[in-house]
A and B are shown apart, each in its own frame.
Chain A
């Protein structure tokens, strides 16, 4: 029996970026993009579900994000997750990878003890691949990155196949361990129709707050009890729940990374230049590459 928690993220569908979706501070205006389940996080969830299938245990998922991330958490239920946590607070807004990994590690410590923490290698919006490793450090877990497959788990050691340049590496990792996953040989399973039917009305605290605000006959505390009774409540955490959290380490203030500028670079072929195989020709090429900062 191994208990796993999977860090998942709802990301803007970067394949469909159009128009002005960048804010002045250099961050993405998420509200303007369709939101999707980050692909590699789905791979991570699939690996966690396979561990549960083979060895028993539970699979939880956790995300830090805006209220609408509850759609993705429901999709985690549809795949087979047992429990879901949404960490959401305005104070988290603008967090870079350092602040995010700090919040996630604090939240994971708060919600329970786990043998495995799974994450996708990177999210398609930032492409940093930093949150997984940083979280492992803060949890004081060993970590394996670029994981393709867990071959087996025995005596608290997991044998893991990870991708390296030009091949694969097999490593043994002591539990608890954090794994960041890439596309594996087994595709993420499809949603289960029964679970869709069961969890389609699952709600976070924020969803219920909205329901209560929109209808004066509904009371938040009653709704929470009702949804908990029906097993349709998605645990929702904010800074007030994570009482130990150091607020100077979160949000924009806790984030040393500043995005200077983001631009769309369209690569296109220009005219062909013929370079003579002479000292002059090659010298001119080197100068041109140096000027374009391609070399040096």
Chain B
């Protein structure tokens, strides 16, 4: 009877230190929803009990049901026949149970049948579920489509689209990518135009659409004929009716439970969500940021699964008269995996809480605006929060998804030849993890998204404050190492800026972002180590390793190898 929440000490550690007071106060309308909904909480403590029980439920379903079906879902995959997409049998049962458990509307308002859970808890749910089945998390996470409509749609649109997500009757799809608009979404061509009755109609293609068979699509469309950039794009919602043709589904390396579709819209009736021309610059950015958070949670869940398998196998497998767990080189790999896992989790929940608060304040700002009240205070806070969220989200996605690839790779390594075989689940984890550092923006694009904040050193005050603190229990030494990493960072940054060479800057960005992430993550784990003695080992191993890595990053910035770019054509024959 494994419960993927209650058996995860580290996740429970984070849950118990979540301070969601401000977030829940806004989310729960100062706990007044009790009058209308008998399952709404009475106060903060009651809300936290509800959320804990919700995670226990997800942990139970994930550990006992979803995980049991994951291998068959992977083996069977989604089907495509005569234009119709059908999920694998296990996926159908999973989705049915998630609906019965009220989890398909986890973050949606109670008014529309949802549970009204905060994003931080939603991310914990995604992590738990991904440990059982990486691909399922995608379909679960597409309740974000309904959440977008909640944020930007009209009252009428909300009442029309959201309730069926809550009941599980509908799933969603986010239709952004096109054959010629992948990382560069500004190039989107799918046309939206109004017919003689003013009805919007969609015409064109979308590709690589996760769950493109879903019932409600948010489609990034060119509403402004003749434009070529992002400012001519709007977001439209439509039903997946007869005018939407699934042309094919992709045959993928991993996440087989999650169908990836090529779609053709043929005069599909649609309606505008929010304002025209804001499709890319506001709504897609918003959707993508949230999705990046979700992918990080997914990557972490897969990493947890791989770690569990690797640890278990190492303790069972005997070679040379002892378990391989007792072989120092093997144990050392496990230690590295564990540190990557726990530090990734620290960054996930720190970022999730920040994004959560940011979104709650955005909602409050709109309310104040509507009531004609002053928004100055919240506006100022939001500006600051947004800046930090825009830095941390790509850093989070970059480090957790790269870590997931490393962890699943090492988990196979610990299994040896056995891990290469389909009988053991680690090869599936490696295949499922492989997409996480590609979709919702590749790692390279996360670097691009983060580098501005890194160059502007926007966490400076935060770092200064943390560096000035005195850490007890022998942790001061680690603070010293983090200060040293900061010096290395500033030195490297100055070196890059002084070169005034944009090509060099682009190549060096990866090292700079990594350097910055060591400092940020390092202080997170240092604080945790003050709360929980066991975390000292994690903090020590992370920070000591990071110092060594920082020296390597600095060296790779200064080693002039970037000049090879000038000779690339001679080298890359």
Q: Is the CB of B101 within 8 A of A190?
A: yes
Chain A interface size band reads 10 to 19
Task: Output the nearest chain B residue to A232 by Cβ-Cβ distance.
Answer: B38
Q: How far is the CB of A124 from chain B (nearest CB, A)?
A: 14
Flag whether B76 is at the interface (Cβ < 8 A): no
B65 touches which one: A190, A194, A195 (CB < 8 A)?
A: A190
- Bound state CA distance, A195 and B115, in angstroms? 11
Flag whether A110 is at the interface (Cβ < 8 A): no
From A137-145, A149-157, A196-204, A257-265, the one touching the partner chain is A196-204
Flag whether B213 is at the interface (Cβ < 8 A): no
Q: Is the CB of B97 within 8 A of A196?
A: no
Q: Is the CB of B101 within 8 A of A197?
A: no
Chain B residues with CB under 8 Å of A32's CB are: none
Chain A residues with CB under 8 Å of B101's CB are: 190-193
B115 touches which one: A190, A191, A194 (CB < 8 A)?
A: A194
Flag whether B254 is at the interface (Cβ < 8 A): no
Q: A189-B100, A192-B101, A193-B115 are in contact. Are A198 and B65 (CB under 8 A)?
A: no
Flag whether B446 is at the interface (Cβ < 8 A): no
Q: Is the CB of A193 within 8 A of B97?
A: no
Flag whether B54 is at the interface (Cβ < 8 A): yes
Q: Is the CB of A200 within 8 A of B53?
A: yes
B50 touches which one: A190, A197, A231 (CB < 8 A)?
A: A197
Q: Is the CB of B39 within 8 A of A195?
A: yes
- Bound state CA distance, A199 and B111, in angstroms? 20
- Bound state CA distance, A60 and B377, in angstroms? 54
- Bound state CA distance, A192 and B53, in angstroms? 11
- Bound state CA distance, A189 and B100, in angstroms? 7
B53 touches which one: A189, A190, A196, A231 (CB < 8 A)?
A: A196
- Name the residue among A187, A193, A194 with the largest chain B CB count within 10 angstroms: A193
Q: A198-B39, A200-B49 are in contact. Are A189 and B97 (CB under 8 A)?
A: yes
Flag whether B430 is at the interface (Cβ < 8 A): no
Task: Output the nearest chain B residue to A13 by Cβ-Cβ distance.
Answer: B1
B102 touches which one: A187, A193, A200, A231 (CB < 8 A)?
A: A193
Chain A residues with CB under 8 Å of B511's CB are: none
- Residue-wise interface mask of B (33-54) relative to A, using a CB-CB cutoff of 8 A (1 in contact, 0 not): 0000011110000000110011
Flag whether B57 is at the interface (Cβ < 8 A): yes
Flag whether B175 is at the interface (Cβ < 8 A): no
Chain A residues with CB under 8 Å of B103's CB are: 193
Give the residues from 46 to 104 in chain A that come closer than 8 angstroms, CB to CB, to chain B. Answer: none
- Name the residue among A187, A196, A198, A200 with the largest chain B CB count within 10 angstroms: A196
Task: Output the nearest chain B residue to A80 by Cβ-Cβ distance.
Answer: B100
- Bound state CA distance, A198 and B102, in angstroms? 13
Chain B interface size band reads 20 to 34
Chain B residues with CB under 8 Å of A195's CB are: 39
Task: Output the nearest chain A residue to B98 by Cβ-Cβ distance.
Answer: A190
Q: Is the CB of B38 within 8 A of A196?
A: no
Q: A198-B38, A198-B39 are in contact. Are A192 and B102 (CB under 8 A)?
A: yes
Q: How far is the CB of A145 from chain B (nearest CB, A)?
A: 28
Chain A residues with CB under 8 Å of B54's CB are: 193, 196-197
Flag whether B402 is at the interface (Cβ < 8 A): no
Flag whether B127 is at the interface (Cβ < 8 A): no
Give the residues from 381 to 433 in chain B that come closer than 8 angstroms, CB to CB, to chain A. Answer: none
Q: How far is the CB of A238 from chain B (nearest CB, A)?
A: 29
Chain B residues with CB under 8 Å of A190's CB are: 57, 60-61, 65, 97, 100-101
Task: Output the nearest chain B residue to A78 by Cβ-Cβ distance.
Answer: B57
- Bound state CA distance, A194 and B106, in angstroms? 10
- Bound state CA distance, A238 and B479, in angstroms? 65
Q: Is the CB of B100 within 8 A of A194?
A: no
- Bound state CA distance, A231 and B41, in angstroms? 16
- Bound state CA distance, A194 and B60, in angstroms? 16
Q: Is the CB of B57 within 8 A of A191?
A: yes
- Bound state CA distance, A198 and B39, in angstroms? 4
Chain A residues with CB under 8 Å of B65's CB are: 187, 190
- Bound state CA distance, A191 and B100, in angstroms? 7
Chain A residues with CB under 8 Å of B49's CB are: 200
Chain B residues with CB under 8 Å of A193's CB are: 53-54, 57, 101-103, 106, 115
Task: Output the nearest chain B residue to A192 by Cβ-Cβ distance.
Answer: B102
Chain B residues with CB under 8 Å of A196's CB are: 50, 53-54, 57
- Bound state CA distance, A197 and B28, in angstroms? 14
Task: Output the nearest chain A residue to B101 by Cβ-Cβ distance.
Answer: A190
Give the residues from 152 to 202 in chain A that come closer than 8 angstroms, CB to CB, to chain B. Answer: 187, 189-198, 200
- Name the residue among A189, A190, A198 with the largest chain B CB count within 10 angstroms: A190
- Bound state CA distance, A35 and B282, in angstroms? 53
Q: Is the CB of A194 within 8 A of B102?
A: yes
- Bound state CA distance, A194 and B37, in angstroms? 10
Chain A residues with CB under 8 Å of B60's CB are: 190-191
- Bound state CA distance, A191 and B60, in angstroms? 10
Q: How far is the CB of A79 from chain B (nearest CB, A)?
A: 9
Task: Output the nearest chain A residue to B39 by Cβ-Cβ distance.
Answer: A197
- Residue-wise interface mask of A (191-220) relative to B, using a CB-CB cutoff of 8 A (1 in contact, 0 not): 111111110100000000000000000000
Chain B residues with CB under 8 Å of A198's CB are: 38-39
Give the residues from 90 to 139 in chain A that come closer than 8 angstroms, CB to CB, to chain B. Answer: none
- Bound state CA distance, A113 and B65, in angstroms? 36
Chain B residues with CB under 8 Å of A231's CB are: 38
Chain B residues with CB under 8 Å of A191's CB are: 57, 60, 101
Q: Is the CB of A197 within 8 A of B53?
A: yes
Chain B residues with CB under 8 Å of A187's CB are: 65, 93
- Bound state CA distance, A194 and B100, in angstroms? 10
Task: Output the nearest chain A residue to B113 by Cβ-Cβ distance.
Answer: A194
Task: Output the nearest chain B residue to A200 by Cβ-Cβ distance.
Answer: B53
Q: How far is the CB of A191 from chain B (nearest CB, A)?
A: 6
Give the residues from 95 to 117 in chain B that come closer than 8 angstroms, CB to CB, to chain A. Answer: 97, 100-103, 106, 115
Q: Is the CB of B41 within 8 A of A197?
A: yes
Chain B residues with CB under 8 Å of A194's CB are: 39, 102, 115
- Bound state CA distance, A194 and B57, in angstroms? 11
Give the residues from 24 to 80 in chain B that come closer than 8 angstroms, CB to CB, to chain A. Answer: 38-41, 49-50, 53-54, 57, 60-61, 65
- Name the residue among B39, B40, B57 with the largest chain A CB count within 10 angstroms: B39
Task: Output the nearest chain A residue to B61 by Cβ-Cβ distance.
Answer: A190
Q: How far is the CB of A78 from chain B (nearest CB, A)?
A: 9
Chain B residues with CB under 8 Å of A192's CB are: 100-102
Q: How far is the CB of B116 from chain A (nearest CB, A)?
A: 10
Nearest 10 A-B pairs (CB), nearest first? A197-B39, A193-B102, A198-B39, A190-B101, A194-B39, A197-B50, A189-B100, A194-B102, A190-B97, A193-B54
Complex A-B: 18 CB contacts under 8 Å = A187-B65, A187-B93, A190-B60, A190-B61, A191-B57, A191-B60, A193-B101, A195-B39, A196-B54, A197-B39, A197-B40, A197-B50, A197-B53, A198-B39, A200-B49, A200-B50, A200-B53, A231-B38
B residues near A, CB below 8 A? 38-41, 49-50, 53-54, 57, 60-61, 65, 93, 97, 100-103, 106, 115
Q: A189-B97, A190-B101, A195-B39 are in contact. List 5 more A-B contacts (CB 8 A).
A: A189-B100, A190-B57, A190-B61, A193-B115, A197-B41
